[in-house]
C-alpha cells in the first residue's frame, strides 16, 4: 500500500516546468499548502486543475520550495527507492570512469535525481555531503544503503556550506561509518597518483569535476612553458608535466595546498626544480610577471557566491584573464574556468572575450569545457552545470 503524502497546490501553469523536467519549484509558484508540512517532508505537487504532477522535498524556509524526486506520484520514497537510485548512479559510473581511476563522483545531486546529495568515491572510502532538508531526513537510510551496496572501508561526512545554511541546516562533519580517517588518502586518476585531504581540503578534497579538462591540458603541454594559476594541490600541473611540458610553474596562495602539490609532483617522478610551486596571490603574480608562457591555466575559486557578487566577480574574472592573455606567447593556449553558479556560460564568454580584446589579441575557441560524465546534469536544469571553461588559442 502506497503512503499518502501531503499536497501542495501550484498556481495555474506552474506545473509546466516540472513536466519539462526542471527539478525545482520556487515559493512564488505555490497557490496553497495542505496542512503544515515540515521542512524536508515529501509532498505531492498538484496542478491547479487537481492533477498530481510529482513527488519531491518541501521546504518553506528555502526559496526553492519544492525539489523533484519523481513524476511517478504512486511511488513510495523508501529504502528500496534510494537503493534503486544509487544502483543506477553506480552503473553509470562503471561506464564512464576511465581505467586507472579510483576517485570520482558517485552521486551528483539533481543530476542523479537525488536533490541535495553528493557522494564522492576516493578508493575504498566515500565522502558524503547533504545540502537539503529533505535529504537530511533520509540521511540514515542513505548511509545504510551506501554501506550495504558499496561496502566502503569508511564514510566521511562533509555537510557544510552556504547551500545548507539556506535550507536552515547546521553544518555536520566527521566519520559516520567504518574506519576513522585522520590522514590524507592516495588516489589514482588516469594512472597518476595524488594525495587527497578529504577532511580539510576544498570541496571533498579534490576537484574531481576537472578530470576531462586535465586530460585536455596534458594534450596541449608538449614542450610548453606552462603556468598553472590557483593550482591548489597541483593536479593540472602533474598532467602538464606528464604531457611533456618543458616547465610548469604552479601558483597558489595556500601553503598547505602547495605542500601537497609538491608531494604530488614528486610522487609522479617530476622534478620540483623543473616544475616549481610558488606561494603567491595570483592577481599579484600575473600583474608582476614579465615571463611569457605557451599555456596558462586559470582555475580560480568561485568569485560570485551570491547574485549580489556578480558585478565584482565579473571584474575579477576579467582582470585575471586580461593579464593571462598578455602573458601568453603568440599562438599560446588559455584554459580558463569559472565555477561560480551565478556566472552563467553566456556571461563568462562575454567576460573572457572582453579581456582578450583588451589585451589586443584575438581568440579561437578550441573546446568548450565542463565537468566530466561522472558529474551528470539534468538537461532541463542548466543551473546544475556550475563549472564552465574555455580552451582558447590566442594570437596578436
Q: Give the pairing type, strands 6-10 and 30-33.
A: antiparallel
Where do we find the cell 616544475? 275
Helix, strand, coil percent values for the chain (each to nearest 5):
35, 30, 35
What are φ and ψ of residue 156, in 5° steps? -115, 135
Residues that are catalytic: 339
Residue 350 grid cell:
562575454
Cβ-based neighbours of 311, under 8 Å, separated by 6 or more: none
Number of Cβ within 10 Å of residue 37's Cβ equals: 18
**Cα separation of 389 and 369, whole Å?**
4
Residue 186 grid cell:
592516495
Instruction: Name the nearest CA neighbour of 126 among 135, 117, 113.
Output: 117
CA–chain centroid gap for 67, Å, is: 19
Q: Are 371 and 209 in contact (CB under 8 A)?
A: yes
Strands (E) in 152-276, as ranges, are 154-159, 172-178, 185-189, 192-196, 225-229, 247-252
β partners of residue 25: 66
Amino acid at each position: 500500500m502506497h503512503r499518502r503524502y501531503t499536497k501542495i497546490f501550484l498556481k495555474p501553469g506552474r506545473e509546466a516546468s516540472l513536466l519539462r523536467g526542471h527539478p525545482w519549484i520556487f515559493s512564488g509558484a505555490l497557490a496553497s499548502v495542505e496542512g503544515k508540512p515540515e521542512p524536508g517532508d515529501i509532498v505531492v505537487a498538484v496542478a491547479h486543475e487537481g492533477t498530481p504532477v510529482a513527488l519531491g522535498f518541501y521546504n518553506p524556509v528555502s526559496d526553492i520550495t519544492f525539489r523533484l524526486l519523481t513524476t511517478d506520484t504512486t511511488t513510495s520514497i523508501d529504502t528500496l527507492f534510494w537503493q534503486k537510485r544509487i544502483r543506477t548512479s553506480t552503473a553509470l559510473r562503471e561506464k564512464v570512469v576511465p581505467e586507472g581511476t579510483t576517485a570520482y563522483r558517485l552521486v551528483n545531486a539533481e543530476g542523479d535525481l537525488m536533490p541535495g546529495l553528493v557522494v564522492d568515491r576516493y578508493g575504498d572510502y566515500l565522502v558524503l555531503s547533504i545540502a537539503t532538508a529533505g535529504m537530511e531526513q533520509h540521511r540514515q537510510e542513505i548511509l545504510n544503503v551506501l554501506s550495504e551496496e558499496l561496502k566502503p572501508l569508511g564514510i566521511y561526512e562533509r555537510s557544510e556550506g552556504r547551500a545548507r545554511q539556506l535550507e536552515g541546516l547546521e553544518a555536520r562533519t566527521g566519520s559516520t561509518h567504518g574506519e576513522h580517517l585522520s590522514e590524507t588518502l592516495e588516489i589514482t586518476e588516469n594512472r597518476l597518483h595524488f594525495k587527497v585531504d578529504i577532511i580539510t581540503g576544498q570541496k571533498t578534497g579534490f576537484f574531481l569535476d576537472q578530470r576531462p579538462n586535465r586530460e585536455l591540458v596534458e594534450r596541449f603541454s608538449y614542450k610548453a612553458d606552462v603556468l598553472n594559476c590557483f593550482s591548489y594541490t597541483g593536479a593540472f600541473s602533474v598532467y602538464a608535466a606528464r604531457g611533456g611540458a618543458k616547465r610548469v610553474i604552479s601558483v597558489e596562495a595556500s601553503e598547505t595546498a602547495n605542500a601537497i602539490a609538491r608531494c604530488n609532483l614528486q610522487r609522479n617522478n617530476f622534478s620540483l626544480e623543473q616544475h616549481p610551486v610558488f606561494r603567491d596571490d595570483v592577481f599579484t603574480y600575473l600583474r608582476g610577471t614579465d615571463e611569457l608562457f605557451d599555456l596558462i591555466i586559470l582555475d580560480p575559486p568561485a568569485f560570485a557566491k551570491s547574485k549580489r557578487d556578480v558585478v565584482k566577480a565579473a571584474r575579477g574574472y576579467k582582470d585575471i584573464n586580461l593579464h593571462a592573455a598578455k602573458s601568453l606567447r603568440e599562438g599560446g593556449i588559455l584554459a580558463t574556468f569559472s565555477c561560480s553558479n551565478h556566472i552563467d556560460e553566456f556571461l563568462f564568454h562575454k567576460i573572457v572575450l572582453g579581456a582578450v580584446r583588451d589585451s589586443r589579441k584575438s581568440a579561437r575557441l578550441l573546446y568548450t569545457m565542463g565537468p566530466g560524465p561522472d558529474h551528470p546534469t539534468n538537461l532541463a536544469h542548466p543551473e546544475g552545470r556550475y563549472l564552465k571553461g574555455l580552451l582558447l588559442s590566442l594570437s596578436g
